[in-house]
Structure 1
Amino acid sequence: MGPLRFDVVVAGSGPAGATAAIVAARRGWRVALVDQRTFPRDKPCGDGLGPGVAQLLRRLDLDHILAGETPAASLTVYGPAGVELNAALTGLDGMSTEGYVVPRADFDQRLRLAALNAGAVDLSGHKVTATGLADDRRWVSVRRAGTEHRLEAGLVIGADGAYSVLRRQLGAGRPSGRSTAIAMRAYADSDAFDPDGPLGQRMIFEWSKEMLPAYGWVFPNGKGTVNVGVGIMVSELRRRSLDLRRVLDRFADSCRQRGIELGDLYAHRAHHLPLARPIPRLAHERAALIGDAGSMINPLSGEGIVYGMNAAYELVTRLPANLSGAVEQARALAEFETWFRRTYRAHLISSRVAHGLMSIPWWARHMIRAANNDPVVFRDAVDLLFGLGRIRAETTWRILRHGW
């Protein structure tokens, strides 16, 4: 059998890949959506969806994907020496804080089905093994049940995750251990976080001295279940010879000791997070990297979905109508990479600096105390976690002033 021809091949059916497939199919292109897994499937993640995700879904007329989900209403942060922050996420001046918690098994399947409904061809269960150039097209080899197939397209989009085959094949290399975090998540039953429960739709972070340099989270989906997880840099995990599952168990126990209702943990899954420190080359000849494959992950929060989805939207909308034109396509890919770096550089650098500072107990204590005492500091901290915020000189001064 000869090669299967498409206009666009998208490797990876996660949020970034599915978004790229949706936008490309709506432009009238023949799109292949490839993933080595069959869906629905579990995906280790904190399951948090920031405000930018909801905004992009509305822009794409995909509001139904979050229909029936309840947005997070408040935030609690535990820090060193017993310092604690409790605040509402609604009503922040000039900010959208419409964040949700949706299990990735559900969210990714909904987004993938939207791509198939838009016209993308379902090639789930196919693993990408290699790529190369042939005349004016790029080919991708995929394997299923021991059989190799060849796909050809005017453009290949690599959204195949933290262990991206396409990233390596395109010469962008592997993420280094110094720029990679590892997280473990589990689920627990808890009615305390339901909308009518004692805690409500409350997101919890912990940067306590006992946890550092790791941090922990509890994210509720409002349906009797919470996502409980911890994250740490791979280099620190190795240096301290830590058992990540034990770190997670200790964090869950500390939550219970605070009176937070958590059932037994189950469905433990660990995953690597290639952080945006630095971002690899994104634009290649007739190919581009987005999402985790492009290290589009916030070094402070570990969030990556919003960056990958926005990158997918911008990438595909910037492409020329005729994908066979090599010069026009190369120019569009270069412009996409320039846009991403200019848009997110200051934010991601600020997040990297904040991540380092929050690993220092005295700074974490003063930062959390200042956010409790100064609404400007709190607003900027939320913007850094969930928006496009950056470290500002005024905010740093306010932290030093109000954090004592």
Structure 2
Amino acid sequence: MSTKSTGTGSASTGSASTGPTSTEVLVIGGGPIGLAAAIESRRAGREVVVVEPRPAPIDKACGEGLMPGALRGLHELGIDPVGHPLVGISYRDGRRQVDHRFRSGPGRGVRRTTLQQAMADRAEQLGVRMVRAKAESIEYRPGGVAAAGITARWLLACDGLHSPTRRALGLEGAPSTSRPERRFGLRQHFRVPAWTDFVEVHWGSGVEAYVTPVGTDEVGVALLGPPGLDYRAELAGFAELSERLRGAEPLGPVRGAGPLRQRSRRRTAGPVRLVGDASGYVDALTGEGIRVGLAQARAAVATLEQDPADYEREWSRATRSYRVLTSGLVQWASSPVRGAIVPVATTFPRLYGAIVDRLAQ
């Protein structure tokens, strides 16, 4: 993706050439947060177009556990995806385990494709226009911006972890020169009766396994760890989990994502706002990316008419707990005392529960 300060040429090809040529709000990215931003825009009475090159439903390697706050946020948007109830978080290391039930109500395990399709259906119901195209460049124009052959007053960049928009606009943050090291995620589903209503986090010596039931007979297992993860080999290292999955049918391929830690210098550039993972990401460790992304989408739309600094402030407020708690936990998980995480949580269950509830809000 490239950027231009002025110009009249088309920024993209694809179906945009026969679709809309102008709108109030242009959303780049048709994943859950892009669709949330589009839905929020329509709820605010604004005309909106979403540009996304991939057909729905769009999959992604993620844990798929919606925290209670994320589920409430989706309900506020008129979205109620089918899935499996989640009652809390369970930490375990093969010898110990500590469980905490959410105090703020249930969460839900939902296949990423199910979530994205439910949100796409809701967006269509509200009159969001979808364009199958790729935004190859961003052009600033008088009174707005243009991308994918569409001019708009505002552009909401919701194009994910490795956001081309963030990079093209020079909003990438400087890479960290210190630990924690780069981390990646791998995920696969298995046909097996769900044995738990918790999100189970199995802590290994250098890798975590996140178990999320997404149906009565389907479980997703995501592994987080350093580069070069061998999914099968690492999964075999979790004895309890391996026994649970013995003979289970794999559903689909292993999907990967990463590196997970991404930085942004700021979240605004003229009429452009970075939203969701595009605005910066710490790690998937605490599992609240959707909740935080929904809050960012709401803040971005609510502050469109205001000074860009207002969105920066709202972004900081919406992500503060996530950034602080997740960064701290990732630092701990990447340190020589990683093995103390489950023992400490077991010894101080009230502290563990308070952290879980704070992140689940």
Asked whether 1:222 is paired with 2:220, we answer no
Using the alignment, how far apart are the partners of 2:360 and 2:317 within structure 1? 18
**Residues 247 and 172 of structure 1: is their aligned pair in 2 closer, same or farther, counting only changes over 3 Å?**
farther
Q: Alpha carbons of 1:157 and 1:339: their partners in 2 closer, same or farther (altered >3 Å)?
A: same
CA distance in 2, matches of 1:113, 1:368: 41
How many residues were matched structurally? 340
Is 1:135–2:135 an aligned residue pair? no
Quick one: distance in 2 between partners of 1:164 and 1:42?
17
Paired amino acid for 1:127: K
The AA in structure 2 aligned to 1:173 is: E
Closer/same/farther in 2, CA of residues 186 and 151 from structure 1, 3 Å limit: same
Matches within 5 A, 1:201-220: 201-209=197-205, 212=206, 214-220=207-213
Change in Cα spacing, 1:289 to 1:184, as seen in structure 2 (3 Å) is: same
Deviation digits for residues 237-292 of structure 1 (CA, Å, limit 9, x no counterpart): 2xxxx4433444434665124x565614342111125436x443101111000111
Contact 1:78 1:208 in 2 (8 A): no
Higher relative contact order (CA 8 A, sep 6+): 2
In 2, the alpha carbon distance for the partners of 1:175 and 1:50 equals 30
SS at match of 1:36: coil
Q: Say if 1:202 and 1:219, in contact at 8 Å, map to a contact too.
A: yes
Q: What is the match of residue 342 of structure 2?
A: 368
Match of 2:352 in 1: 378
Unaligned runs of 5+ residues in structure 1 are 143-149, 194-198, 321-328, 388-404
Question: Using the alignment, how far apart are the partners of 2:21 and 2:238 within structure 1?
Answer: 49
- For 1:260 and 1:381, the matched residues in 2 are separated by 29
1:17-66 Cα distance to aligned partner (Å, 9 max, x none): 11110111122221101111011232222111112211212333x1x523
Change (3 A) 1:275 1:224: same
1:275 aligns with 2:261: yes
Structure 1 CA distance, aligned partners of 2:107 and 2:346?
21
Post-superposition shift, 1:183? 0.5
- Quote how far apart the aligned CAs of 1:303 are: 3.9
* Percent of residue pairs identical: 23
Instruction: Give the Cα–Cα distance (whole angstroms) in 1 for the partners of residues 176 and 258 of structure 2.
Output: 10
1:16–1:309 CA contact under 8 A, matched in 2: yes
1:2-401 superposed matches below 5 A: 4-60=21-77, 62=78, 64-66=79-81, 68-79=82-93, 82-90=94-102, 95-123=103-131, 125-140=132-147, 142=148, 150-173=149-172, 176=175, 180-191=182-193, 193=194, 199-209=195-205, 212=206, 214-232=207-225, 236-237=226-227, 242-251=228-237, 255-257=241-243, 259=244, 263-265=248-250, 266-275=252-261, 278-298=263-283, 300-301=285-286, 303-320=288-305, 329=306, 331=307, 333-360=308-335, 362-365=337-340, 367-383=341-357, 385-387=359-361
Confirm or deny: 8 A CA contact 1:273 1:297 kept in the other structure: no
Deviation at 1:127, TM superposition (A): 0.9
Once the two structures are TM-superposed, the CA of residue 88 in structure 1 deviates from its matched residue by: 4.5
2:11 matched residue in structure 1: none
TM-score normalized by the length of structure 2? 0.84
Runs (4+) off by over 6 Å = none
Asked if the contact 2:201/2:210 (under 8 Å) is kept, the reply is yes
SS at match of 1:300: coil
1:215 is displaced (CA, Å) by 1.4
**Match of 2:236, SS?**
helix
Amino acid at match of 1:206: H
Query: Would the aligned equivalents of 1:72 and 1:201 in 2 still touch at CA under 8 Å?
Result: yes
Q: Does the 8 A contact of 1:6 with 1:30 survive in 2? A: yes
* Equivalence for 2:4: none
- The structure where helix makes up a greater share of residues is 1
Q: Deviations over 1:307-354 (max 9, x none)?
A: 11110011102223xxxxxxxx4x0x3201112213433541232122
Q: 2:187 touches 2:254 (CA, 8 Å); kept in 1?
A: yes
The equivalent of 1:146 in structure 2 is none
- Structure 2 unaligned regions, length at least 5: 1-16
Q: Which amino acid aligns with 2:84?
A: T
Give the aligned residue type for 1:77: Y
Give me the whole-angstrom Cα distance separating, in 1, the residues matched to 2:100 and 2:162: 37
State the Cα distance separating 1:86 from its structure 2 match. 3.8
